[in-house]
Amino acid sequence: MIAISGLKKRFALTREHKKKKSQTDPRERDGFFHSVEEVNLHCGEGEVLGLLGPNGAGKTTTLRMLSTALTPDDGTILVDGQDIVKKPVVARKAIGFLSGSTGLYGRLTAKENVEYFARLHGLKGKALKARCDALFQRLEMETFLDKRAEHLSTGMKQKTNIARAVVHNPKVVVLDEPTTGLDIMTTQTVISFIRDLKSAGTPVIFSTHHLDEVALLCDRVSVIDKGITCFDGSLAEFKTKGQSHELNQAFLNLLTGAAHV
Amino acid sequence: MFEVFLKELRELLRDRKTLFFVIALPMLVFPVIMALVGFMASQAAMEAKQEVHTYYIVNESFAEKFSEQVFYHKSFKKYNGELALDSVEALSDAVRNGVIDVGIFIPADPAKNLESGIKSEWKIVFNDAQSINFIYDRLSKLAMSFSDELRALKLAALGLSQEQQAAVLQPISITKVDTADKRENLGEKLGVFIPYMLIPLVLMGASYPAIDLGAGEKERGTLETLLLTPISRTELVLGKFLTVLSSSIFCALITVSSMALWIGIASRFVELDVIKTAFSSVAMMDFVLIFALLLPVAVMLSSLTLAISIYARTFKEAQNYMGPLSMGIFIPIVMSLMPNMELTAKTALIPITNVALAIKEIIKGTVDYSYVALIFGASTVLAAGLLVCCVKWFNKETVLFR
């Protein structure tokens, strides 16, 4: 279970940025860029939550805070009832993170890449081997395990990345635009991976721009616009509040509605 | 931490680019280049030595003995053309036009001049704009020996015996009695060269992997995943730091040993007695001490390069920072070469300069061990400080997610 409430994060503006003084973005004020101003969301056991929002809305910053790479200025993030802002190490053990831009160590083989992260997560000996072997089999990675990551195709790389992200059996999985730039085959790998997690009861939060994926996978939807959550609810509520059965239209209606408020 | 170190090491050993810079360059490429340069220089010198020059003497009859010696010298050939030259200008033109290589202008009979108490002034006309040139040396040697003969004859005519002549010509002669032994003397010269080579090598060995381990990790998009593992950032930094440190020490070690090997091989073909005698008196303990002193330098440079690399956004940005650093490293080394720079309690506190000075003293065999301890202490404190900065930067969001 993941519960985020009142999340805030701002970044100091660079000197060049301040000099320009172009107040086009209302989030730029008092020497800071307020990337995330008020984010609240909830994702229960076995639920998949789609995090939507235009580019620059604050999705990646939110997910980075959730994955403990960034520390929030304010707000709470609860994973299984534990406040991970206060206990980041607990969170790192409980969260599996994958983004579209995550890379692999090119000079290590696919197997070495996954095993390295398994060891960093404290797995050793037989337990490590058993866990890795099970993952390799499930993701059908056996054919390219001993190839260096730099020589793998995009699909193989993404499979390796998935294995790396879940090698420590995380309680929740966070995916930041995991299908951006991928071909149909590889996208399908990611989709079936999310389905697997869902059937295993693992909560998944993923940000995306592809609403067909949302329709396919998500139980819940959360929309962030200009750093503020403007919707958080079930898929059905999303359609109702967005006044359309087409997800794209519902999304646009929600955003324009938020702008009018 | 050890896990990170092992993985980084494994990845480093698989990187051909780094391996080339850390191993192949100092072990094979540099010696081959140096050998080639040496070979070409000696070839050029040999060619210059063997070259035969066409000469022309104006007023040959004034110095017959001299002319004869030049005539029979293996490096000179008399001009046998039809041109008759009679002045310095005419000789210059002939040299410029390539008719002759060298002209000697004898204005008057030197023996007669000497009789009347007048000094003769000869002129050697040639093109001196060549780096290896034996013309002037050879001719002036012949002319001087002719001049000496004339002088000896004159002095004998004045009634001076050979011993008296020697005393008159040089009433006082000075002989140097050096209290510095051979090692100290050679150490002063060779000792400055060694830190000049070793310290930049330590930097080179550190900077290549450092760029890869910091900025490279950001560029490849692996840093974020690494930060989300439960091991602390301090451990991450230390693991990376250990890799950079190993590489920098390894680079210095391998270069020195390959140099020893190549010098060993070269000394079979060429006489390198100077280097041999200088190093034969340097004990094994001194070598150990030199490496012990390089250690804090390696720690310092490793943490510095790693900090720079972590700060940089991309590989290219990191490389841009390393450029000035590799130039800047020479400043403290050159400082140690300045005259009157000695290892004192003050200079022992200037980073890198202190180590360069100490290495020189060790090779000279005149090192004060209390200063070595001071250097060790000071360098370790600085290195530890830099390492703390490194860890702090690795914890800073503004640095990690620039």
The span from the CA of B359 to the CA of B337, in Å, is 12
pLDDT higher than 90, residue B123: yes
**Are A69 and B224 a contacting pair at CB < 8 A?**
yes
Helices within B270-352 (DSSP H only) = 273-280, 284-311, 315-328, 330-337
- Measured in angstroms, the CA of B227 and the nearest CA of chain A are apart by 6
pLDDT digits (tens, 9 = 90+) for B51-92: 889 999 999 889 988 999 999 999 899 998 888 888 999 999
Tell me whether strands B53-58 and B102-105 are parallel, antiparallel or unpaired: parallel
pLDDT higher than 70, residue B272: no
pLDDT of A12 reads 83
Nearest to B220 among A103, A117, A164 (CB): A103
CB B94 within 8 A of CB B83: yes
**Are B224 and A102 a contacting pair at CB < 8 A?**
yes
pLDDT higher than 70, residue B281: no
pLDDT of A128 reads 92
Set of chain A residues whose Cβ sits within 8 Å of the Cβ of B4: 120
Q: In chain A, which residues touch B (CB < 8 A)?
A: 11-12, 64, 67-71, 89, 92-93, 95, 97, 99, 101-108, 112, 116-117, 119-122, 148, 164-165
Of A140-144, B25-29, B302-306, the one with minimum mean pLDDT is: B25-29
Give me the percent of chain B exceeding a pLDDT of 70. Answer: 95
SS3 of chain A: CEEEEEEEEEEECCHHHHHHCCCCCCCEECCEEEEEEEEEEEECCCCEEEEECCCCCCHHHHHHHHCCCCCCCEEEEEECCEECCCCHHHHHHHEEEEECCCCCCCCCEHHHHHHHHHHHCCCCHHHHHHHHHHHHHHCCCHHHCCCEHHHCCHHHHHHHHHHHHHCCCCCEEEEECCCCCCCHHHHHHHHHHHHHHHHCCCCEEEECCCHHHHHHHCCEEEEEECCEEEEEEEHHHHHHHCCCCCHHHHHHHHHHHHHHC
* Closest Cα in chain A to B14: A107
| B28 SS3 class | helix
Give me the percent of chain B exceeding a pLDDT of 90. Answer: 19
pLDDT digits (tens, 9 = 90+) for B374-388: 888 888 888 788 888
Q: What would be the CATH architecture of the domain defined by A2-98+174-260?
A: 3-Layer(aba) Sandwich (3.40)
DSSP secondary structure letter of residue B171: S
Q: How confident is the model at residue A30 (pLDDT cuts 50, 70, 90)?
A: confident
Of B183-197, B284-298, B367-381, the one with minimum mean pLDDT is: B183-197
**Are B10 and A112 a contacting pair at CB < 8 A?**
yes
Which two structure tokens, joined as six digits, stand for A21? Answer: 């003084």
pLDDT of B349 reads 86
The span from the CA of A174 to the CA of B190, in Å, is 61
Task: Spell out the domains of chain B, with CATH numbers in brackets.
Answer: 53-169 (3.40.190), 184-400 (no CATH)
Q: How confident is the model at residue A151 (pLDDT cuts 50, 70, 90)?
A: very high
CB B199 within 8 A of CB B335: no
- Measured in angstroms, the CA of A114 and the nearest CA of chain B are apart by 12
Mean pLDDT, chain A, rounded, equals: 87
End-to-end CA distance of chain B: 25
pLDDT digits (tens, 9 = 90+) for B103-122: 999 998 988 888 888 899 99
Neighbours of A101 (CB within 10 A): 12
Of A5-19, A78-92, A231-245, the one with minimum mean pLDDT is: A5-19
Higher-confidence position of B266 and B61? B61
CA angle B210, A159, A141 (to 5 degrees): 105
pLDDT of A22 reads 57
- Measured in angstroms, the CA of B231 and the nearest CA of chain A are apart by 7
**Extents of the domains making up chain A:** 2-98+174-260
> What is the value of pTM for the model shown?
0.76
Phi, psi of B337 (to 5 degrees): -90, -10
pLDDT of B270 reads 65
Q: How confident is the model at residue B128 (pLDDT cuts 50, 70, 90)?
A: confident
Which two structure tokens, joined as six digits, stand for B285? Answer: 């303990």
Set of chain A residues whose Cβ sits within 8 Å of the Cβ of B315: none
pLDDT digits (tens, 9 = 90+) for B213-263: 888 888 888 888 888 888 888 888 889 999 999 998 888 888 777 777 777
* Closest Cα in chain B to A167: B229
Please report how many Cα atoms fall inside a 13 Å half-sphere around the Cα of residue A252, on the Cβ side.
5
Among A62, A105, A171, pick the best mutation site for testing chain B contact (most B Cβ within 10 A). A105
Higher-confidence position of B34 and A211? A211
- Measured in angstroms, the CA of B4 and the nearest CA of chain A are apart by 8
**Are A102 and B225 a contacting pair at CB < 8 A?**
yes
Set of chain A residues whose Cβ sits within 8 Å of the Cβ of B10: 108, 112
| B55 SS3 class | strand
Give the number of residues written for chain A.
261
pLDDT digits (tens, 9 = 90+) for A214-261: 988 999 999 999 889 988 999 899 899 888 888 889 999 888 875 554
A244's CB contacts (< 8 A; 6+ apart) are A250, A253
* Closest Cα in chain B to A102: B221
**Are B224 and A71 a contacting pair at CB < 8 A?**
no
- Mean pLDDT on B274-290: 69
**Are A121 and B7 a contacting pair at CB < 8 A?**
no
pLDDT higher than 80, residue A80: yes
Q: How confident is the model at residue B143 (pLDDT cuts 50, 70, 90)?
A: very high
pLDDT digits (tens, 9 = 90+) for B75-85: 899 998 888 88
Contact status of B350 with chain A (Cβ, < 8 Å): no
pLDDT of B243 reads 92
